[in-house]
Amino acid sequence: MKVIYYCYGSAHSSVVAAAIHLGLLPSDRVPAAREIEALPYFDKTSSEEIGTCFFVGRDECDREVYVMGMGSNRQVVKRAILSILSIFGIDAGELALIDALPSAGLLVRVGGILSRRLGLIRAGRPLAIKGIQRNYRVFCDFVKKAKESLPSSQT
């Protein structure tokens, strides 16, 4: 099974959710800014990379975990992915598409726009991190529910 956490640009919400899923970030405390900033892909993907899946790691059940940005048309992109799987006869049950954007609050979104879209990294990145820290329990609860909904092993 493959798990794809997606958000707008695969730079913040999906990266944090995947990191919690894989144990790269703790689930028992709010991580320090440096821990968040050190994550692979955190606040690094560009607009040109929207639509690209980035492998983050394998979880304890050997599921591959990815992050992906889907821009403002997340439902269209999701439908396209599922349609392509169907065309090629691939079981859609082998893929879990999980929208991480609802876990992000206003600060994460504003920080993301400033940093990634406008290139104001020094202003945007700290805002995004502060927003993640403020909503961290929401992220952890979200990932816990997402993991519980997944099959426990590959079939």
For residue 120, the model assigns a pLDDT of 87
Does 131 map to a domain? no
- Helices 136-148, 121-134: axis angle to 10 degrees equals 70
For residue 153, the model assigns a pLDDT of 57
Does 113 map to a domain? no
Q: How many domains does the chain have?
A: 1
Which pTM was predicted?
0.92
For residue 65, the model assigns a pLDDT of 98
For residue 39, the model assigns a pLDDT of 96
- Name the residue with tokens 């690209």: 52
Does 37 map to a domain? yes
Element (H, E) at 107: helix 106-112
Element (H, E) at 97: strand 95-99
- Name the residue with tokens 């975990």: 65
Average pLDDT for runs of 10 along the chain of length 155: 93 96 96 96 90 95 96 90 93 93 90 86 93 96 96 61
For residue 155, the model assigns a pLDDT of 41
Range of the domain at 87: 2-104+136-148
**φ, ψ (nearest 5 deg) of residue 64:** -80, 135
**Pick from 54, 65, 56, 70: which is nearest to 95 by CA?**
65
Does 50 map to a domain? yes
